[in-house]
Amino acid sequence: MTASLSSSHRPTEPRTADHRALERAGLRPLPPVPPRAPLHLVAAEGQLQVHTAPYRGSFSNVLSQALRAAGLGSRVLVVQFLKGGVDQGPERRLTLCGRLGWLRPAVSTCLDGPAADQGQAVQEAVEEVWQVCRRELLAGKLDQLVLDELGLAIALGYLSEEEVRATLERRPGSVDVIVTGPSIPEFLMGLADQVTELRRGF
């Protein structure tokens, strides 16, 4: 058996009944909430991170993070300014995971003395590596740039502090820059969003 209700027999709308109950209790309904604009996604903001230690060789943890980032699709460049021994240079940079470039200067040994004690060719090899990473950073070609022993390269006279500072201040906002090693200049500490200090080696 079916039945239909005429308009005079339709049940009271729940919202109207609620309003009447509120009025009997001496309460007023809440005003309607105006619609809000949808949330907007914010573009990722790159950070300048410093990983420092009182000794050389605090690099392996940062390298593993860089490899992971490249494996997940980020464009990464790792630059080791004072590590040599493989006579690499910009023309023979390594590529790992398809997206991680690894660059060392074209020198026959690791550098640990002042630039003034080295030949002109050694100084030019370090400067050439810096110019490559500077160009790629400012061109916005990278998601992450790792600068190993950048502070030590400045302290030993291989790189100009003024030029490094000007470059990092102009870096694109989406790029993560990670500086590693001992002897971090004061201006880098001032620019850093995050500083991690390793107190001792194991």
Give the residues across from 133 on adjacent strands: none
pTM of the model: 0.74
Rounded distance, CA 167 to CA 145, Å? 13
- Integer-rounded Cα Rg, in Å, for the chain is 30
pLDDT in tens, 126-159: 999 999 999 999 998 899 999 999 999 999 999 9
**Local confidence band at 1 (pLDDT 50, 70, 90 cut-offs):** very low
- Order of strands, edge to edge, in the sheet holding 76-80? 94-96, 100-103, 76-80, 144-148, 176-180, 48-52, 194-197
- 101-105 contact pairs (CB < 8 A, 24+): 101/76, 101/77, 102/77, 102/78, 103/77, 103/78, 103/79, 103/129, 103/132, 103/133, 104/79, 104/80, 104/129, 105/81, 105/129
Backbone phi and psi for residue 96, each to the nearest 5 degrees, phi listed first: -120, 150
Quote the mean pLDDT of the chain.
Answer: 84
Q: How high is the pLDDT of residue 186?
A: 93
